[in-house]
Every structure is written in structure tokens, then in C-alpha cells.
Chain A
Amino acid sequence: MIKITKDWILILICSLITVLSWVGFEIYRVWNTPTVTPLLEEQMKPLNPELDQRAIELLREAGNP
């Protein structure tokens, strides 16, 4: 039968810390990875509904000199 000594406890504590760090980093990575597809990202780009009145006015002036 294996005799569990202080050394074994130390190794097991280190293993637990490693596993907890693994879990932590994995969650951090998943949380910081965007799930939006490039197509959706393209569709989400904002659109300015206001037409440039000044430009239109300039065009009107140029069109009717």
C-alpha cells in the first residue's frame, strides 16, 4: 500500500494549483474570444442616416450655376 507522506501532499497541492490555473486561464480565454462571425460584424457596422445637406447644397449650386 502507498504511504501518503508530506511530499505526496506537496505534489498534490501543486497539481491542484496547476489545475485551478488551467481552469482559470481557459475561462479567461473563452470569455475574451469573440463569437461574432465576420459576416455579422460587417452587418453590424453603424450606418449614418443623415445625408450631408451641405454637400447636396453645393451640388445644387454646381448643377444650377
Chain B
Amino acid sequence: MQVVPRWRYKKRLLGPKQRRVYTVLGLSLFALSVFGAFAIRPTLTTVAELNRKIKDQRAARDQLDKKIKDLSKAQIQLTRMKADITLAEKALPKEKDLPTLLETLQQITERNSLRLRHLGSGTANDTPITLPNQTLVVKALPVSLQLEGSFPNFLGFLTEAESTLRQLNAENVLISRRDGGIEYFSLQMLVYFTDD
């Protein structure tokens, strides 16, 4: 058996200095890449994910705490203003409530000495109403009226109709004069209600 001298064995394993440097550097870079891809990446991703979850959960907890406080405040106000809430429900009812509306319009017509020739309603549409903090979507029901009488009386009718508790808007008015000085008014209104 041939015995390899110790110095030759060492030289064969490590080689010249430059080769040794390249080998160590290459293996280090390879190890870093493999660890980076399969060990460091999943670990750091999990850390980032958990940090993000903690941040989001803290924000959610703060928001929900604030909302609970606001709800308590709103509950107190609601109890204090129960009578006024009934008014609000009458102003924006949960249904069309056509009979009450027609009765109100008829009474206003009579009070202003006008003759109601026609009263009809169309199909309700969603109408967004922008409030300071939010946009509320309510239903708007188109109502058309044909009235007969004098112009000052019609103005009185409009003023009274728009100041009733029920929320409505006059959208379009068409005035025509016939023989004998009698004027005809064709009025398009939007009547609002919620549809929960």
C-alpha cells in the first residue's frame, strides 16, 4: 500500500490559495441562496404576515371600541328623542303609504281652493341622498297631479305641500291657461320613502 505524504494530501484537498477562496466563497453563496429561498424567506414572510395581522387587529379593536361608545351615545340620544323619531318615521315612512299621501294632497288642494282633476303615481326608484357623513339611498316615488284654479292658489298649494311632514319635492310644473281665465297646472312630484 502506497502512503500519500501529508503535505501532498492537504494540497490535493484544498489546492492553491485562489482556488480555495473561490471554493469557500462559492459554497457560501450557494448556502446563502438555498437558505434564503427555503428557510429565511418563509420565516420572514410569516413574521411580516403576523405583524400585519397584529396591526390590523389593533386598528379593528380601536375602531370597534369607538363604535361601541358611539352606539351608547346614540342609544341615549334615541331614548331622549323617541317622540321626534316618530316624526322622522312619518316624514320618511318605510312604505309608500299612498292612502295617507293622497289624503294629505287632497286636503291641501281643498284648502287652497283648487280642483284636483287627476292624481297618479309611477314606479319608485332608488335615489341617493348625500348627507354630511354618508350617502343614504331612499326610494323616490313619482306622483303626478293635474290641478285647476288660480295661480296664487297654486303657489299656496306648492308652499303647503312642500312644508308637510311627508318629504316631497316638486320637480316639474306645466302651466296652461284656458278660456275664462282658469289655469291648469300639471305637476310632477317626487315623494320619498325608505324600503328596508
- Chain A interfacial positions (CB closer than 8 Å to B): 3-6, 8-9, 12-13, 15-16, 19-20, 22-23, 26-27, 30-31, 33-36, 40, 43-44, 46-51, 55-56, 59-63, 65
Q: How far is the CB of B32 from chain A (nearest CB, A)?
A: 6
| Contacts of B33-57 to chain A: CB distance below 8 A | 33, 36-37, 40-41, 44-45, 48-49, 51-53, 56-57
Q: Which residue of A lies closest to B12 (CB)?
A: A1
Q: Is B165 an interface residue (CB 8 A)?
A: yes
- Chain B interfacial positions (CB closer than 8 Å to A): 19, 22-23, 25-27, 29-30, 32-33, 36-37, 40-41, 44-45, 48-49, 51-53, 56-57, 59-60, 63-64, 66-67, 70-71, 73-74, 77-78, 81, 84, 87-88, 90-91, 133-134, 163-165
Q: How far is the CB of B18 from chain A (nearest CB, A)?
A: 10
Q: How far is the CB of B101 from chain A (nearest CB, A)?
A: 14
Q: Which residue of A lies closest to B53 (CB)?
A: A35
Q: Are the CB atoms of B19 and A62 closer together than 8 Å?
A: no
B133: contacting residue among A8, A15, A33, A48, CB under 8 A: A48
Q: Which residues of B contact A4 (CB under 8 A)?
A: 19, 22-23, 25-27
Q: Give the docked Cα–Cα distance between A20 and B48 (Å).
A: 15
Q: Are the CB atoms of A46 and B88 closer together than 8 Å?
A: no
Q: Are the CB atoms of A12 and B33 closer together than 8 Å?
A: yes
Q: Are the CB atoms of A16 and B36 closer together than 8 Å?
A: yes
Q: Are the CB atoms of B74 and A49 closer together than 8 Å?
A: yes
Q: Give the docked Cα–Cα distance between A13 and B30 (Å).
A: 9
Q: Are the CB atoms of A56 and B74 closer together than 8 Å?
A: no
Q: Are the CB atoms of A16 and B33 closer together than 8 Å?
A: yes
Q: How far is the CB of A12 from chain B (nearest CB, A)?
A: 4
B74: contacting residue among A16, A47, A55, CB under 8 A: A47
Q: Which residue of A lies closest to B84 (CB)?
A: A56
Q: How far is the CB of A28 from chain B (nearest CB, A)?
A: 8
Q: Are the CB atoms of A22 and B81 closer together than 8 Å?
A: no
A19: contacting residue among B23, B33, B88, CB under 8 A: B33
A15: contacting residue among B29, B41, B60, B91, CB under 8 A: B29
Q: Which residues of A contact B25 (CB under 8 A)?
A: 4, 9
Q: Are the CB atoms of B60 and A3 closer together than 8 Å?
A: no
| Given contacts A8-B26, A47-B71, A59 and B33 within 8 Å (CB-CB) | no
